[in-house]
Amino acid sequence: MKTYFSLLLSCFLFSLSAQSPTKFSYQAVMRDAANELITNDTIGLEISILQNSPSGNLVYQEVHNVVSNQNGLISLEIGEGVPIFASFSAIDWSNGPYFLRSNIDPNGGSNYTLSSTTQLISVPYALHANTTDSLSGFDPSSVGSESDPVFSNSLAAGITTTDTAFWNRKQQKIIAGSGARWVGDTLISTVSGSSRDFYLGQDTLGGIVFHLYWGADGQQHGLVVSKNEATVPWQYNGSVTGASSNWNGQANTDTVNNSPAVTWASNQGTGWFLPAIDQWRFLEQNRFYVNRALANTSHTEISRNGYYFSSTERNANEVFIIDARSGDVSTIIKTVNAKVRAVKAF
């Protein structure tokens, strides 16, 4: 039986002492494939802290066995499990970003069949208070003396009272000026040449524009997504392919030669490839523009159900995906069927 879970994270101080907390709370609601709560049952969890990316370096790992309550809720304290790798107290929270990966065994063992990875945006960075050395000489007429090395090396250290005097006097309107025009909320160039006239949601180059940036050549560049999709496995038999890039789907596609998903994408024509997981994040962020354009041209919209493969593999058996229901990054077994879309750069 396939099990889904939703994740809630919170971090709070456990005492009013001068010491920073050494744990933070984790909660998840367990549901089965019929969307029914899994109540009063033992769940096995493997909690990992990863550095820099969803597939980054492992800096800490622990395991728990907990029992869900009558509402399907499991609760535990990260930092108080059985350590498997490294020490929770040794994590340098100033050297992020950090990501939390939860591997789940709904049967209460260590056969982890479900995985979800979430970035720790502001929690538990209160733990970083341990790196603050001192704040001395403070009075209402001075800014005091801050010796935190992270603060001292940041742009914030150079902010003065003169800088802050104008923070609430923002410009209320931006004028396009010559050589540019507004299209909705997008400012685009009116200089001749199609390479300077792209906009989000544009139907061009055989797909729909979903990402734009200005290159060093002074021209617009970006990504378009295919107007069609397919449902195929990533591999028929799991094996390591070397498709490890989080951002370069073209490099991943060029590396893999035994994937129905990658083959379908590259068969869409010259320059098409299966997007890497970070490129899928751009697509997820601008889904509104893409689906509006797809609907206007009677093509299949990007779904809000199921999963979409990326070209970024996690290991021999798993590949990174976008969960179409939540937009979150997760992983899935390579041999199952999932949706694919092709992407092309310009």
Report the distance separating Cα 55 and Cα 98, nearest Å.
Answer: 10
For residue range 8-27, list pLDDT tens digits in order: 444 433 333 334 457 888 88
Q: What is the pLDDT of residue 120?
A: 85
Report the distance separating Cα 179 and Cα 267, nearest Å.
Answer: 39
pLDDT value at 192 more than 50: no
Q: Cα-atom radius of gyration of the chain, to the nearest Å? A: 24
Q: What is the pLDDT of residue 161?
A: 78
Phi/psi at 317 (5° precision): -110, -15
Structural contact between residues 47 and 156, judged by C-beta atoms closer than 8 angstroms:
no
Poorest-pLDDT segment among 33-42, 131-140, 227-236:
131-140
Same domain, 207 and 330: yes
Same domain, 191 and 97: no
Same domain, 185 and 96: no
pTM of the model: 0.46
What range defines the domain where residue 214 resides? 177-346
Same domain, 340 and 219: yes
Same domain, 118 and 190: no
pLDDT value at 183 more than 70: no
The last residue of a domain, from among 128, 161, 186: 128
Same domain, 184 and 290: yes
Query: What domain count does the chain have?
Result: 2
Please list, in sequence order, all residues whose beta carbon lies within 8 angstroms of the beta carbon of residue 303, skipping any fewer than 6 positions away: 324, 339
User: Taking Cα atoms as reference points, which of 234, 331, 339, 322 lies closest to residue 286?
Assistant: 322
Same domain, 120 and 221: no
pLDDT value at 293 more than 90: yes
pLDDT value at 109 more than 60: yes
Average per-residue pLDDT for the chain: 83
Report the distance separating Cα 170 and Cα 286, nearest Å.
Answer: 27
Q: Which residue's structure tokens are 């609430």?
A: 168
Same domain, 211 and 90: no
**Is the backbone peptide bond immediately before 106 cis, with ω within 30 degrees of 0?**
no
Helices and strands (H and E) in the chain: how many: 6, 22
For residue range 115-130, list pLDDT tens digits in order: 889 888 764 555 555 5
Q: What is the pLDDT of residue 37?
A: 86
pLDDT value at 207 more than 70: yes
Q: What is the pLDDT of residue 129?
A: 57
Structural contact between residues 99 and 93, judged by C-beta atoms closer than 8 angstroms:
no
Report the distance separating Cα 9 and Cα 289, nearest Å.
Answer: 30
